[in-house]
Structure 1
Amino acid sequence: MGCCQSKDTKKPKEEARKAPEAKRQEPVARRAALDEKRELSGKAAAHADESVDPRVERIHALRAYQEKCPFRYDACTVRGGEVKKYFENGIVFRIIKGDSWFIYNDSLDYEAQVDFRLGPGSKISAGERTTLEETEDGWICAHAVVYPLETLHYISGSVNGYKSGITIKPLSDEYRHDMAKVANEIAENETAAVQELAGEETDEEEVLRRCVRTRTPYVDLHFPPHAHSLARPELDVRTFPEMAFMRPTQYLSGNKRASPDAVVGPVVSQSIDCGSLGDSWLVCALAALAEKPSTVEQLFMHSTPAEKAVGAYRVSLNKNGWWNSVIVDDYLPTVNKTPVFARSFDQPRELWIPLLEKAYAKVHGSFATITGGDALQALTDFTGSPVFRFDVDWASAAINATKAAAFAELLIHLTRHSAATVMLSTPSHDSETYLGREAQVDPRAFREKFAEVGLRTGYTYFVENVVAFEKRRTLLFKVRNPWRSTGRWTGRWCYGSPAWKENPEVCSACNGLVDPKDGSFWIEFEDAKKYFDGGGVIMTLSASTDYRVKGCFEDTVPSAVLDITVAEPVRVLLTLSQPDKRGFDRKNPACRFAPIMLTLSKQDGDKQRVMQNTSWNPLQPADEFNFAVSRDVGMWATLQPGERYHVVPRIHRKGVKTDYSRPYVIGIIAEAPLDGKVHIEAKHIPADSSVFTNYVAYAATDLASVDVEHQVHTAGAPLQCSVSATVVAAAAAAVRSPPAKSDPSPVRSGSDVSGDAIQRVANVPNPGDADDDSQL
């Protein structure tokens, strides 16, 4: 509940007089002009200048609208007028137009109890649903209740001063039920129709085929439009009020009903509205995806027109290291015909944002399971690429000049690495970082501090460039703000800052006098460390070919390793994934991460000798054996012709649990298909091999081949899944046979693993969703 008592007051005048006509302003709701811009952003108009980037046009239209319109939702029915907002986030608005007052409720979750006391001498009449009562001292009390997205005609006439008193409170269960009843009955009937069509069939592909064949609106029976998809009573702590499940064809108006689709116009992050689920971490990942529109389009490209016609979409997700085609229907939770969770702000018929969020909720069991997490982990699920965080390094650099210099070199290297996308994070209200602790003292003041400089707490920004000016001891970051609802950076080195003219050589190097107009800005490290508390990197290869191999650990022994012989030099990303704990019951063994590591070894005589192991940073593989308590680990590797390699998944003995064979997936990500360049065979290493006791060399002859489940994921091509020992085929390459080395020796004293190290991945910002409860 919230209250805005007497914060808006005008003293009565001695003599009442008619209120002057309000000065006409820009429309407060979208009309024809903005609709025209929207259509241009959705489909490049035939007469549009082809030299104009449609993405830039859409971004400019969004920012222009944001500057003129104070509303979050496109529902106010009054044009123009004098607009005043109430409450910090502008939940309730009063609009005066002529001699009429209107109240608009710009929320989905609250009813507004509107009470104004109008001064003596006011001459007014009640609007719809407004009651008037005159007090003994001549004041008039006007009362009305305004529900979500309603624009209510409150009063008309001349007002001689007033005092406001507006209170908001959550919608009642009765109101929600009445509002959702009809829509949910339709959803139940369509669910029943699909259940009847499916009969005993449980395979989603077959059920979808039957719906397409009979033109039956598709309902996902594994994740139906039902309250249990919002939260599972037996597993999830969070609960949700009743909502209306509706398809876009039900909540869209006019001709928009006939044309919803996953991607409608140019994909831009500024179009994302976060909604009210509380999954800003996931929305940040969606914004990162939108920076490369082709990535978003590829996630939905396997949906056919016939499937979309019955309300079904396919989303490609990499879950637990394995690529899946996730089928979802297009039912979305709504209030007053508006999607409640993440959505497209300016193009309601564009569905990639809510459908991607829904598919992610489905694979984890419910919407409630995705209300907290790490944006970088979500990006791995969307792209299959490894990530790493540098929160600890950032915090060290913030207080140590020597470490700051080394960290700057790392960031400069990363921003010049074609496969790396660098992100910075602002602290959230529960961050356990040096800035997060400051936020907990006074959350509102902390948010206002960020808003004053055009930033937002709890969100992710992208680093486009890092430039060091040694003479001036200045380190500048070029950061891109993907969020529509924030202003521009206003600190030092902002656009128009005198710092540019005072430092011409810096200005020249950074092109500082040019208005970027895309949300990017320059910020020096001294300011950055005051507003960002860390970040991370995702390693992605455009148009990559991604090979995945399944296995499981029996005790500490993997069921399969990869034997690789090389005919041509290749550079690859090697990854190892274990099951995600998200969505699992705490009693399930998979709810805790085990310490894992991936080892790459090379043939040396009749043995294999360890070359490198994964570490917290894929760009910096380790010589030593460091097991990381992490969902995924990865590293870059260059494979040379004429060599034979082993890729060996490892698990620390402290991660082994009785009666549980922990699954794993090995990934090999290459810039191009590896067929003909390398030969990859799945083989089994016996349990008594010294590789499992951390020797740098181990016997590797006469290993048995084993059949494994494997897949190939290539952008723009259907997913290929097979079961065989051969993962990638190539002509037999001549393998060098160098002189045998001396007998293997342990890395550390003794042959037991007790001397190895376990890295708890400290570069994770949210302890509640990190690895603090892992079994060690």
Structure 2
Amino acid sequence: MGCCNSKDSKERKVVERPQSDGQPVDSDVKKDVVEEVVEETSEETLLGVEPRALTRQVDPRTERIQAICARDSSCPYRYDACAVVGGEVKCYFEDGLIYRIMKDGCWYYYNDTLEYEAHVELFLGPGSQVATGERATMEVMSDNWTRACAVLYPLETLRCVSGNVLGYRCSVTVKPLSEEYRHKACVAANRTALMETEAVRRLAGSETNEEQILCRCVETNTRYVDLKFPPSAEALARTGKDSRSIAEMAMMRPTQYLPEDMRLMVNDITGPVVAHAIDHGNLGDSWLMCAAAILAEDETAVRNIFLQGTSAEKALGAYRLLINKNGWWVTILVDDYLPTFSCMPVFARLRDSPAEMWVSLLQKAYAKLHGSYAAITGGDALQALVDFTGSPMYRFDAEWESAAMDATKVQALANALVGLSRSGASVVLSTPGHNSESYLGSNQAGDPAAFRARYAKCGLRMGYTYFVERVVVVQRPQALLFKVRNPWRSSGTWTGAWSFGSRKWEENPDVCSVCDAQEDPRDGSFWMSWEDAREYFDGGGVFISTCEMTDYRIKGVFQGVFPSVVLEITASESTRVLFTLSQPDKRGLDRTDGAALFAPIMLTVSKREGNMQRVQKNTSWNPETPSEEYNFVVGREVGMWFTLEAGEVYQIVPRVHHKGVKNEYNRPYVIGIISPCRLEGTVRAEAKCLGSDSNVFTNYCLYESEAPQSVEAEYQVHIPGKSPVTNVSARVI
């Protein structure tokens, strides 16, 4: 009997800078100072560059991606709230933050952050003839230099000085906003949020059912507020429960923070869904945003999440999202209040379409599901994709590292990845996080700054997961190539071998044709060889999309090691299905909760032989390769593809290792049956109960099974594009 740890989590992925993981204390105050010295300056003006015009017809999705990429190349700002258009722009920090704009003899400074205040000190050479702008102070020093000072708050543009400057020195210091300033900036919005919350609470009275409360809001035309996840500080971080604190923010609806001409445009999805539109925000949940970006590669998958809402509900700020949690489909009802600052969402948003809410609402629904925004920092993007779609996944970190260390194992990895890519499965690759101990991550200990700079140079972010569009093996020259999609805004670009414009394509025209790499698609994607990929990515995984498939979910509970429900299945014709087994997620739970640790689990499929059942396959870490061995996996879910032969009788038996059993805790589970087509009329599945004396629970490959008792079970049927239907019966298909 084996008990192995699954790769159920990656290193915590955090945004390196700026930090937003708590209210600042004195020791945490960031005082980055940039010194700039210039003897003389001229008043040259550099006009803004308009995005390149598209010269050919493209589909709406491609058009949106290219428009975003073109905008990124012409506009340096993250939030694009600068009040000055055009001018000569200078950035003071490597990752943006503070900018100086010189235009028409005026020196403007712009704070392109939501969490810092910037202190600008400008020393102007003797003989300079200048006047100060709003909120700037000026004094002449003893050496005849003139000192001008100004403080910029988030998204502010200030004119510091104007006139003729003869040489200057400039110092810019940034530090986190004070609690006092935050509170003053947020108090009015939060007062409004509280008033609307109390109005809905009065309307609800003693009613606690979310559906009934929403109905009352629709009947009375009252703006909806989610009383189970209200717009308050507790939604950000739970006192005494979350280890992380989050600074005060203004809770606002998009109809409150958007310009008036955009308020009627607010909706969950308003245009073609593209990953490039996502701004991950400042929460520190890059793993979740990577999952959202990968999800956005399939617009149908995103739309399936939002298919339940009505226009009447949305008009009142109420949205429904369909998420698969712990193997079971659940509808999450949320209001549209978001954490903001300076009338800008602080967390996830769509940067080119402020009225389009899908990524902000998806993040909020996930936070509600786990208790708070603080509860969703750090995780594995593939696990979030399972929650968003109900589809299985697995990681191949060990196989990737093994191939990176041993050239004889590269071919096996290449064959597997090419096959998966061709089958329609989504392959993803991950970069090491800042605290990673992987074969790559451990290299950063000597010089972390140089390690980060290496990734920034080629446009990659540390601790991120990237979608792989294609995996190609070519024979002449022998190479394994990955086409990686990078939707994240970056100043760097991959320029190595097989990059767009590389001589490799010119030298190998046949490969160029196969890979369709004649020109740069201008969508952030790039080609990279295995030799380079292994130096930047430390692993990855596979996501098996099932959003176009029908799935059936059956609930049960382990009483000790014994399942309350097994399935007995027969098929009238040969049918290939995907079986899954899920246990409760530990995210957001108290450490004393019975589900706070994953149990080692496994799913067994056996076939009838007379009055006996013979084990055919057990799940392993990879759904594509079920095993005859008994290997329990410590993870949220396991799965396997299996072909049901016509006329045979099978049992699907959930298993849990005794090491995962806790006193006074019966661990729930969900069995999933996923199929490319509906199974009614082809497959019959019934809920049964096996006695605790069955030898299947002691790993016998042949065990007795005479007429197991039928039991009623709660089950769901989810047809693509429709809401799941829940029933209770002994017959589940």
Give TM-score scaled by structure 1 length. Answer: 0.89
* 1:412-431, Cα deviation, whole Å (9 max, x unpaired): 1111112x110011112122
C-alpha RMSD of matched pairs (Å): 1.7
Counterpart of 1:374, as a letter, is D
Equivalent residue number for residue 10 of structure 1? 38
* 1:579-630, Cα deviation, whole Å (9 max, x unpaired): 0000001111110000000001111111111100000000000001100011
CA–CA distance in 2 between the matches of 1:498 and 1:326? 51
Contact map agreement 2:569 2:684 (CA 8 A) in 1: yes
CA–CA distance in 2 between the matches of 1:23 and 1:564? 72
User: Secondary structure, in 3 states, of the residue corresponding to 2:440?
Assistant: helix
Equivalent residue number for residue 341 of structure 2? 335
Gaps of 5+ in 1: 14-18, 28-32, 41-47, 729-776
Deviation at 1:463, TM superposition (A): 2.0
CA–CA distance in 2 between the matches of 1:250 and 1:464? 39
The answer as to 2:134 corresponding to 1:128 is yes
* 1:745-768, Cα deviation, whole Å (9 max, x unpaired): xxxxxxxxxxxxxxxxxxxxxxxx
Counterparts in 2 of 1:144-293, with a 5 A limit?
Answer: 144-293=150-299
Deviation at 1:79, TM superposition (A): 0.7
Contact map agreement 1:4 1:164 (CA 8 A) in 2: no
Counterpart of 1:212, as a letter, is V
User: Secondary structure, in 3 states, of the residue corresponding to 1:589?
Assistant: coil
Contact map agreement 2:389 2:546 (CA 8 A) in 1: no
Deviation at 1:56, TM superposition (A): 0.4
1:435 is matched with which residue: 435, 440, 446?
Answer: 440
Counterparts in 2 of 1:463-612, with a 5 A limit?
Answer: 463-470=468-475, 472-485=477-490, 487-612=492-617
User: Secondary structure, in 3 states, of the residue corresponding to 2:542?
Assistant: strand
CA–CA distance in 2 between the matches of 1:116 and 1:132? 9
Deviation at 1:713, TM superposition (A): 1.5
* 1:545-573, Cα deviation, whole Å (9 max, x unpaired): 11101000001100000111111222111
Contact map agreement 1:710 1:723 (CA 8 A) in 2: yes
Equivalent residue number for residue 709 of structure 1? 714
1:374 is matched with which residue: 356, 374, 380?
Answer: 380
Gaps of 5+ in 2: 1-28
Counterpart of 2:522, as a letter, is K
User: Secondary structure, in 3 states, of the residue corresponding to 2:200?
Assistant: helix
* 1:255-290, Cα deviation, whole Å (9 max, x unpaired): 201120000111000000010000000000000110
1:75 is matched with which residue: 76, 81, 95?
Answer: 81
Equivalent residue number for residue 646 of structure 1? 651
Deviation at 1:402, TM superposition (A): 1.2
CA–CA distance in 2 between the matches of 1:304 and 1:568? 40
Equivalent residue number for residue 12 of structure 2? none
Contact map agreement 1:560 1:683 (CA 8 A) in 2: yes
Alignment CA distance shift 1:576-1:721 (3 Å): same
Say which is worse superposed, 401-410 or 618-627, in terms of deviation: 401-410
Equivalent residue number for residue 735 of structure 1? none
The answer as to 2:119 corresponding to 1:91 is no
User: Secondary structure, in 3 states, of the residue corresponding to 2:417?
Assistant: helix
* 1:206-252, Cα deviation, whole Å (9 max, x unpaired): 11111111111100011000000111112101001110000000000
Counterpart of 2:81, as a letter, is A
Alignment CA distance shift 1:416-1:6 (3 Å): closer
Equivalent residue number for residue 306 of structure 1? 312
Deviation at 1:443, TM superposition (A): 3.0
CA–CA distance in 2 between the matches of 1:279 and 1:261? 23
2:59 is matched with which residue: 53, 64, 69?
Answer: 53
CA–CA distance in 1 between the matches of 2:502 and 2:723? 51
* 1:151-180, Cα deviation, whole Å (9 max, x unpaired): 011111111111111111111111111111
Equivalent residue number for residue 23 of structure 2? none
Alignment CA distance shift 1:689-1:309 (3 Å): same
Equivalent residue number for residue 421 of structure 1? 426
Contact map agreement 2:137 2:149 (CA 8 A) in 1: yes
CA–CA distance in 2 between the matches of 1:370 and 1:350? 22
2:632 is matched with which residue: 622, 627, 632?
Answer: 627
Contact map agreement 1:616 1:633 (CA 8 A) in 2: yes
Deviation at 1:319, TM superposition (A): 0.6
* 1:112-169, Cα deviation, whole Å (9 max, x unpaired): 1111111111111110000001111001111111000000111111111111111111
Counterpart of 1:507, as a letter, is C
CA–CA distance in 1 between the matches of 2:489 and 2:275? 8
Equivalent residue number for residue 114 of structure 1? 120
CA–CA distance in 1 between the matches of 2:728 and 2:45? 73
The answer as to 2:449 corresponding to 1:444 is yes
The answer as to 2:678 corresponding to 1:673 is yes
Contact map agreement 2:32 2:175 (CA 8 A) in 1: no
CA–CA distance in 1 between the matches of 2:516 and 2:338? 45
Deviation at 1:5, TM superposition (A): 4.0
CA–CA distance in 1 between the matches of 2:262 and 2:446? 47
Equivalent residue number for residue 20 of structure 1? 43
Deviation at 1:645, TM superposition (A): 0.7
CA–CA distance in 2 between the matches of 1:423 and 1:363? 25
User: Secondary structure, in 3 states, of the residue corresponding to 2:595?
Assistant: helix
Equivalent residue number for residue 412 of structure 2? 406
Counterpart of 1:613, as a letter, is N
Equivalent residue number for residue 3 of structure 2? none
Equivalent residue number for residue 733 of structure 1? none
Q: Which has the higher contact order (CA 8 A, sep 6+)?
A: 2
* 1:32-91, Cα deviation, whole Å (9 max, x unpaired): x89xx9xx9xxxxxxx99x63100000010000000111000210101101001112111
Counterpart of 1:612, as a letter, is K
Contact map agreement 1:59 1:270 (CA 8 A) in 2: yes
Question: How many equivalent residue pairs?
Answer: 705
* 1:337-392, Cα deviation, whole Å (9 max, x unpaired): 00000100110000000100000000101000100000000000001111100011
Equivalent residue number for residue 25 of structure 2? none
Contact map agreement 2:472 2:480 (CA 8 A) in 1: yes
Deviation at 1:2, TM superposition (A): 4.0
Counterpart of 2:619, as a letter, is T
Say which is worse superposed, 493-502 or 628-637, in terms of deviation: 493-502
Equivalent residue number for residue 764 of structure 1? none
Counterpart of 2:150, as a letter, is A
Equivalent residue number for residue 737 of structure 1? none
Contact map agreement 2:140 2:147 (CA 8 A) in 1: yes
The answer as to 2:483 corresponding to 1:460 is no
* 1:308-332, Cα deviation, whole Å (9 max, x unpaired): 0110000011111110000000000
Give TM-score scaled by structure 2 length. Answer: 0.94
Contact map agreement 1:358 1:367 (CA 8 A) in 2: yes
Alignment CA distance shift 1:135-1:486 (3 Å): closer
Contact map agreement 1:3 1:166 (CA 8 A) in 2: no
2:619 is matched with which residue: 596, 614, 617?
Answer: 614
Contact map agreement 2:457 2:493 (CA 8 A) in 1: no
CA–CA distance in 2 between the matches of 1:651 and 1:120? 79
The answer as to 2:295 corresponding to 1:295 is no
Counterpart of 1:24, as a letter, is L
